[in-house]
Amino acid sequence: MAPRSSPPPAAVLPHPPLPGAGERWALFLDVDGSLLDFADDPTAVVVLPALRRRLAGLHGALDGALALVSGRALADLGRLFGDPPWTLVGLHGLERHDAAGRAQAPSIEPAQVRRMRRETAALAARLGEAVRWEDKGVAAALHCRRAPSLLPALRREAMALAARLPGYELQPGDMVMEFKPAGMDKGRAVAELLAAPPFAGRRPVYLGDDLTDEHAFAAVNAARGLSVRVGGRTPSHALFTLPNPAAVQAWLSDVLDTLMKGTPPHAANPGGPPQRRP
């Protein structure tokens, strides 16, 4: 069946299905707001052992075709998830590390990075204590979740600043404006992963909650996959929805149960603890 040209209205988006018999999925999960609840301070987020075990089980049952696709830096993802064996995609696709040890990092002039960091920190200071500057190494994000009324001013000032920063582009999000090296988004990252093992030849399934995930929804729809919006944000390219991270985790448990029913007895302990990368 060809993918729908446009998603149905938000009020009637259906719950995502479970894997069908013999269906081979490639699972891509956004982190903050999808897999985990948002926090005012991203460094305060904790990943519980039960979730790590569930992801390890999915990684095994999907023959490795599991990736976390996040706006967080790669090092931060590793800190949260304990250097897992599944693929990690950070900074909206600019950073990548897979189970085979292959790594990708953005190439940008150090002087451009220093200027971006200096000027975005100064912008956050001008807008006041309610705007928090998040250091992402070669990227930076300005959050106003504690004061949503500041978003129009933050957006206006951020757009003006981005136009003056060579090599950078602005990525709007949920109560955040992020400055990141130009040339990559989550849709391109997912498309590149789908071109190689262990993701190639599988039906892509992407879960995300934010504007930053819309590129990935479009890429997955074009590949006749399942695009799942978390929460009620509209408009969206997503064709399915789940209300919140708790529902996402419950659905992932059902997905794992369904996949395990088709796992042969000799399969390698898909629910066991993750193996650390060399």
Catalytic residue positions, numbered: 30
| CA–CA gap between residue 68 and residue 2 (Å, rounded) | 27
Residue 123: what residue type?
L
| CA–CA gap between residue 140 and residue 133 (Å, rounded) | 7
DSSP structure string for 16-62: P-PPPTT--EEEEE-TBTTTB---SSGGG----HHHHHHHHHHHHHT
| CA–CA gap between residue 98 and residue 75 (Å, rounded) | 13
Residues 6+ apart with CB under 8 A from 113: 137, 138
Do 235 and 36 contact (CB within 8 A), yes or no? no
| CA–CA gap between residue 85 and residue 56 (Å, rounded) | 8
Residue 66: what residue type?
L
Angle between helices 186-194 and 214-222 (to 10 degrees): 30
For 107, the token pair is: 């190439």
Peptide bond before residue 278 is cis, with ω within 30 degrees of 0: no
How far separated are the first and last CA of the chain, in Å rounded? 42
For 256, the token pair is: 């794992």
